[in-house]
Structure formats: structure tokens, C-alpha cells
Amino acid sequence: MTIQQLKYIVALDEERHFARAAEVCMVTQPGLTIQLKNLEEEIGIKIFDRNKVPLTPTTLGIEIINKAKKILREADEIRDFVVNEKNLLEGEVRVGVISTLSPYLIPLFIKAMKEATPKVHFIIREANTGQLMKELETGSLDVVLMATPTGNPNLIEHPIFKEPFVAYLNEHHPMANNEFYELQPGDKTELLLLHSEFCYNAQLLDICGIKSPGKLKEQFTYDISSIETLKNLVRAQLGFAIIPELSILNENNSGLFKPFKEPKPVREISLVVSDSFSKKLLLEKMNEAIWNCLPDSLKKDFAFRKIRWNDSPYFAKSVSDYIKLNSQ
């Protein structure tokens, strides 16, 4: 028994004629007849007396039709409820953001969303990619703003923009006076990575053509956890960094960063939700707010090379080692 079959018998009751009922239901008359026959055979009851003109429901058929009308009303109520929930712009929303993006985009995003959705209370959580994906799958978070693709079939990705990577150099670097940056052999051993940011690190290794961070020079005995720390270490001539463009928005006059030539290496930034997330209007508002608050340089068309992380051998091994270490 299907909702469509119930719609057919209600239409037949109202029209008392197969051809007119088929027209109302936008189906062929033979198709409607077959569906009625299938339903009657399934329940073992004749719903209509076909020997009478006009078509007349049987005694039990009248009861079945009345119940069908009630079921169809309730189905419409469910549909209306779902539509309302999808379009509801109030309540609490838990948003996760990768830590390499959060300090630079979230202040702009919050200001834009306060105007677009004044009745929504956002709870922002900053963490690394692995933690955010786990909390999204368990339901601890509703939406995550992160680099994609994730390669996770249980998550739905809504791409917003492509953020170029730029090289961050000290004033004595051989490329310091060039317009664009080109990777130098010595930079590979100076590349600075972030602690537990396996997604981000995998992208940097890809850009530099490094398969394993084991080849990097071990300069420090402490873990670096922020892009701002990387930048300060570069200024002190203690390494080389590749960072996302949003992190240098307020440094246009510093001269320490250099763009790559096209096709520029970029990371795709998306809103990611579980496959059960239903608030589509909220996602549209968030997508629009983020896009509108981006600098014009990120909205322009340019040739790019999207840097992935989910298929990186380094990423897979690092996550595996991390899990083993924390399960002991």
C-alpha cells in the first residue's frame, strides 16, 4: 500500500469516474486501474463496485476511503512540518570550524549572521579536522566549516569558496623581492607544520612535493599549534611557511608573503553537515553570509589547483598513529 494508491482511491471517490480521476491524478486510466486492482488484491477487499454507474464505493470501501483521507491529511501535515523546520531560522546551532580558518573568518561571519539570522544562537567550536568530523557524525555539532573533500560518504559538502595558499618568507629569503613565489630546494627542509593539523599539513606537503615530514629538519622540540606562531617564527628566520590567504588579510603592506603563480594551489572551503541535516534555508543563509564577507580577491576567477588531503598517505598514517597514541 502506497500514498499514491490512497490518492487514487480518494480521487475515484470524488470523481466517480475512472477517466476523470486519472486526469486529476495526472496518470493514464489503465495505470490508475492497475493500481486500484493491486491495492484491492493486497488488502483482499473490493473498494469500488464497478458494476454500478456512476462508480460506487462498497460499504467497506467507504471506511477505507475515509481512513485514506485521514492518512493523506496527516502526510500533508508531516510535509508542512518538514518544510517549516527546513525554513526555521531560530534556535541553537552548533558550528565547528577548523583552527586554521577560524581566527580569520569567524569574526566576519558572526557579524554577517547576526544581521541575517537574528533569532539563531550560534555556538562556535574551534578544533582540528579529525575532531570536528567525529563530532559532526556523533551529532555533537550541526555544521562544520572546513577544507574538503572529506571522502566521508556520511557527510554532505556544500562548497563556498576556494582559498589560495601563499608563501610566507623572511626578508632574507632568496625570493623575498620576487613578485611570485616558486619553491626553492632549501625550503623543503625549513617547512613548518602544525601540531595535530594533519589535514592542513597534508596539503602543505602536497604543495611542496614532500611525501613524508620525516625529511624535514628538526629545528624545534615543541609543537606549533597556530598560524600566527608560524608567521612569527618565519620573521625570526627560523623556518619557512605556507599559509592560507585569509591569514594575511591585515598584512598587505608587510611584503613577507608571496602568491604562487597560476594555477594557484588552493583549498576548498565548505559547509559540511551530516546526511540527516534538514535546515536547508539556514545553510543557504550561512553560505551567502560567508561569501559576502570575503575579500574581493577570493571572489575573482583565477586558474587554480585544488589541494586534497583525504587521500594523502601522510594523513592516513598520522591519524592512525594519533588514534593509537590516545587509546593507550
Model pLDDT, residue 50: 85
Nearest C-alpha neighbor of 294 from the set 133, 169, 155, 108: 108
**Number of domain units in the chain:** 2
Q: Can you point out the beta strands (E) in the chain?
A: 48-49, 56-57, 91-98, 120-127, 143-148, 155-168, 241-244, 257-259, 264-274, 304-306
- Taking the C-alpha atoms of residue 29 and residue 126, their distance in angstroms, rounded to an integer, is 59
Gap between the Cα atoms of 130 and 198, Å rounded: 8
All three cell numbers of 103, joined, read: 581566527
Please check whether residue 122 is in contact with residue 95, taking contact to mean a CB–CB distance below 8 angstroms. Answer: yes
CATH number for the domain spanning 199: value is: 3.40.190.290
Tell me, yes or no, whether 117 and 63 share the same domain: no
161 close to 290: Cβ distance less than 8 angstroms: yes
Return the pLDDT at 239.
86
- pLDDT given for residue 135 in this prediction: 92
Q: CATH number of the domain that 46 lies in? A: 1.10.10.10
Which of residues 26, 57, 86 is at a domain's end?
A: 86
What is the distance in angstroms between the CA of the first residue and the CA of the last residue of the chain? 53
179 and 305 share a domain? Answer: yes
User: What pLDDT, on the 0 to 100 scale, is given for residue 32?
Assistant: 92
Are both 31 and 122 inside the same structural domain? Answer: no
Same domain, 72 and 101: no
- With contact defined as beta carbons under 8 Å apart, do 272 and 325 qualify? no
Q: Are residues 77 and 133 in the same domain?
A: no
Tell me: do 77 and 105 sit in the same domain: no
305: phi then psi, degrees, rounded to nearest 5 = -125, 115
Q: Which residues contact 284 (CB under 8 A, 6 or more apart)?
A: none
At 165 the pLDDT is 97
Contact 240, 190 (CB under 8 A): yes
Helix (H, G, I), strand (E, B) or coil at 276: coil
| Amino acid 214: pLDDT | 55
Spatial separation of the C-alpha atoms in residues 54 and 40, rounded to whole Å: 19
Ranges in the chain, pLDDT < 70? 80-88, 213-223, 322-328
pLDDT for res 213: 67
Instruction: Say whether both 75 and 221 belong to one domain.
Output: no
Based on the fold, state whether residues 121 and 270 are members of the same structural domain: yes
Q: Is the C-alpha dihedral spanning 178, 180, 183, 187 positive or negative?
A: positive
Same domain, 102 and 211: yes
CB atoms within 10 A of CB 226: 15
Tell me: the pLDDT tens digits for 269-294?
Answer: 999 999 888 888 889 999 999 999 99
- What pLDDT sits at residue 221? 47
Q: Are 76 and 113 in a shared domain?
A: no
pLDDT of residue 325: 63
In three-state secondary structure terms, 242 is strand
Domain end residue (candidates: 64, 86, 108): 86
In terms of domains, do 27 and 40 share one? yes
Residues 161 and 268 in one domain: yes
What is residue 189's predicted lDDT score, i.e. its pLDDT? 86
At 180 the three-state DSSP class reads coil
Last residue of a domain, one of 21, 55, 86: 86
User: Given the C-alpha cell 594519533, which residue does it identify?
Assistant: 322
Domain that holds residue 247: 91-327
